[in-house]
């Protein structure tokens, strides 16, 4: 599509399609940056808005997703879930309304503290259900990777326990799903996997993504016709027709 080379986005780590702006993807940096996300235009790869998360200290932002709140409004989830050393007692998800205007701005997100059942996990992917106030899952990046389901109703109480519900391949760097969760994608560099649901008895199908130097992030387009992928550093934004997936 184009090349993302804005100097502010030096370690792109996640992608999420916009529900309000058809030509926009939301993204963020890996660890080492301030707490902020960027709206990137898919036709030019230019940054059209920078959104700062007020009151947040970013430890290791690794994933971003889009969901719907209980009122039916689009919300953005940012996952501070990286833990390479495996020593974080808990991690944090942040949720804020998707900005209706593409201008530089500040938002005050709602924080949700997450503790893993069974001890700390390093993770780089989240999956968000598109129903109102729907569930959220974390996908870990480990040799023995897994999908972790958050406690039901956590958005009302502000904290959650994450419990393992499925196994995934080793060292997944991102995850994406269709709105009804009928198709789930996992990525680690050039390696990709298609799953028919979160926990499924159907065999998963592996495939190869177009090569990128440090392939990391991906998302379905809002209309689910395409999958967008990107890498860390100066990166090509690549669009793949979803019907070309296995």
115: which strand partners? 161
17: which strand partners? 25
What is the DSSP secondary structure assignment for residue 157, as one 8-state letter? Answer: H
Per-position pLDDT tens, the chain of length 246? 999 999 999 999 999 999 999 999 999 999 889 999 999 999 999 999 999 999 999 999 999 999 999 999 999 999 999 999 999 999 999 999 999 999 999 999 999 999 999 999 999 999 999 888 899 999 999 999 999 999 989 999 999 999 999 999 999 999 999 999 999 999 999 999 999 988 887 889 999 999 999 999 999 999 999 999 999 989 999 999 999 999
- Domains of the chain by residue range: 2-244
Spell out the alpha helix ranges (H) of 96-184. Answer: 154-157
103 exposure class (CB count in 10 Å sphere: 0-12, 13-18, 19+): exposed
- The answer as to CATH 3.90.550.10 being correct for domain 2-244 is no
Distance CA 59, CA 29 (A): 11
Does pTM surpass 0.85?
A: yes
Output the six-digit token pair for 22: 């058809």
Output the six-digit token pair for 6: 């804005």
What SS3 class is residue 243?
Answer: helix
Distance CA 125, CA 123 (A): 6
């Amino acid at each position: 599509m184009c090349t993302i080379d804005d100097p502010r986005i030096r370690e792109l780590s996640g992608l999420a399609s916009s529900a309000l702006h058809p030509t926009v993807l939301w993204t963020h940096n890996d660890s080492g940056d301030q707490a902020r996300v960027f709206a990137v235009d898919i036709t030019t790869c230019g940054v059209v808005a920078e959104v700062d998360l007020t009151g947040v200290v970013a430890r290791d932002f690794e994933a971003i997703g889009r969901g719907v709140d209980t009122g039916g409004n689009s919300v953005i989830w940012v996952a501070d879930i990286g833990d390479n050393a495996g020593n974080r007692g808990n991690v944090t998800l942040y949720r804020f309304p998707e900005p209706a205007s593409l201008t530089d701005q500040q938002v005050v997100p709602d924080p949700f503290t997450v503790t893993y059942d069974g001890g700390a996990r390093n993770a780089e992917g989240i999956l968000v259900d598109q129903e109102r106030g729907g569930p959220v899952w974390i996908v870990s990046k480990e040799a023995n990777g897994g999908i972790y389901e958050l406690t039901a109703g956590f958005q009302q109480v502000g904290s959650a326990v994450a419990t393992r519900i499925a196994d995934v391949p080793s060292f997944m760097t991102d995850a994406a799903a269709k709105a009804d969760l009928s198709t789930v994608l996992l990525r680690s560099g050039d390696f990709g996997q298609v799953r028919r649901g979160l926990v499924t008895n159907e065999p998963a199908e592996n495939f190869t993504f177009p090569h990128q130097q440090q392939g990391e992030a991906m998302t379905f387009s809002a209309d689910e016709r395409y999958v967008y992928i990107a890498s860390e550093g100066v990166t090509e934004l690549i669009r793949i027709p979803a019907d070309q997936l296995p």
